[in-house]
Amino acid sequence: MTYDKTKHIIPFFFCSLVLLFSSIFSMSVKAEEEEFNPGEYIMGHITDDYGWHITTINDHHISIPLPVMLFDNGSFVAFSSSKLHHGQQAYKGYALGFTEETEGSIVKLGGNYAEYTGEIDHEAASIDHVCKYDISITKNVCALLISIALLCWIFLSVAKKYKEGPLKAPKGMQSLLEPLILFIRDDVAIPSIGEEKYQKYFPYLLTLFFFILVNNLMGLIPIFPGGANLTGNITVTGVLAIITFFITNISGNKHYWKDIFNSPSVPWPLKFPLPLMPVIEFIGILTKPFVLMIRLFANITAGHIIVLGFIGLIFIFGAMSPAIGYAVSPVSIFFYIFMGLLELLVAFIQAFVFTLLSAIYIGMAVEEPHHGELKTEN
């Protein structure tokens, strides 16, 4: 008896569409009461936040509060993000920044609001200073902790299965991960770094690939614990790029640095007295991590913006006429599904590209000179 997957996929797909249509309908009702701002709608979904927003029903924000932790004026302050109530309230004089310069930060109010708790009037309130030492658990930090816990649980459980039965055929999660692990080893690490030296850097490359992949996939899930734009945050991609940068340059051998500052193949006029090529090569060292950072950040963020833009079209046209809004809805949802499938592919491609480029950079740093180069140097 064969198992027919369509018996479960079709109802699941149908229910997903029903939930999507119902959520769009509830948002369209809200859009009729308030002027829809597409820029605010999109940026609110892709930027970080002090709470994990779920949905809004009848002007009631449903969200998961997260801890706000500050070092301010020599004292430690901690409270729930629900005390700020989406920037409309203050707690003991602390509030979300409401000016263009302080937006997205926690600020300390001055004047009559210095120790005030309750609703605030943004026009009457004044800002004393921005809290610089902010170690709050924001939405992206929470998503980071969730993904780390998920990765640890997956790989520790899989490692335990291999330890218990190293000669047994993989099952379940093992059978899913083993092809990916072998792919990174055989098609990324060994060709880029070499069979003799790849094992030293293979754990890092595996961690890099699965960390990016898991967070890319979690970003496609619209509900908690998904929905955070972690790999679309330039600080996260920047840290990953900096780690690759330090591993590459710390591992660089004598041949790597000589090839940058005194390459035998570069004519002497380009090295002395005008060190044109060494300067260009040194700039190349700095641009490599920059390319890694921007590539992942831009691709993931652009995908989210396009998807949210298609949904936003419904409300833009709906503001003109409800009939036009409902007429545009099927087209927007079709492109939303198409872009969702494309983003699923991009999630794997970007994890692969970041890992491949990191492996290539490391391979260039640890590569030994060829015999022809040795004779030339001698």
What average pLDDT does the chain have?
A: 80
pLDDT at position 60 is 67
Cβ contacts of residue 28 below 8 Å, gap of 6+? Answer: 314, 315, 318, 322, 325
| pLDDT confidence tier of residue 30, bands split at 50, 70 and 90 | very low
| Residues 291-340 pLDDT 10s | 999 999 999 888 888 888 888 888 777 777 778 878 888 888 888 888 88
Q: Which of 13-17, 164-168, 344-348 has the highest mean pLDDT?
A: 344-348
Q: What is the pLDDT of residues 172-205, one digit of tens each?
A: 788 888 889 999 999 999 999 988 888 999 999 9
Alpha-carbon distance of 232 to 295, in angstroms, equals 10
- For a pLDDT cut of 70, what percent of the chain falls above it? 82
Bridge partners (DSSP) of residue 70 are 77, 134
Q: What span, in angstroms and rounded, lies between the C-alpha atoms of 364 and 373?
A: 15
Write out pLDDT tens, residues 202-214.
Answer: 999 999 999 999 9
pLDDT of residue 73: 83
Asked whether the beta carbons of 150 and 214 are under 8 A apart, the reply is yes
What the block records as the tokens of 107 is 């600020």
User: Which residue from 255, 289, 246 is spatially nearest to 369, judged by alpha carbons?
Assistant: 255
Tell me the sheet residues that pair with 61. Answer: 56
**Model confidence, pTM:** 0.81
pLDDT (mean) for 264-285: 71
Per-residue pLDDT tens digits for 116-139: 888 888 788 888 888 888 888 989
User: What ranges do the domains of the chain cover?
Assistant: 67-136, 140-377
pLDDT band for 23, please (50, 70, 90 cuts).
very low
Reference 203, options 155, 259, 154; nearest CA is 155
Q: Which two tokens stand for residue 326?
A: 């409902």
**Band of the pLDDT at 29, cuts 50, 70, 90?**
very low
Task: Pick the range with the lowest mean pLDDT from 37-41, 216-220, 280-284.
Answer: 37-41
Q: What does the pLDDT read at residue 57?
A: 67
User: Could you give the percent of the chain with pLDDT greater than 90?
Assistant: 22
Q: Is the pLDDT of residue 4 over 50?
A: no
For helices 322-366 and 254-261, what crossing angle results, to 10°?
110
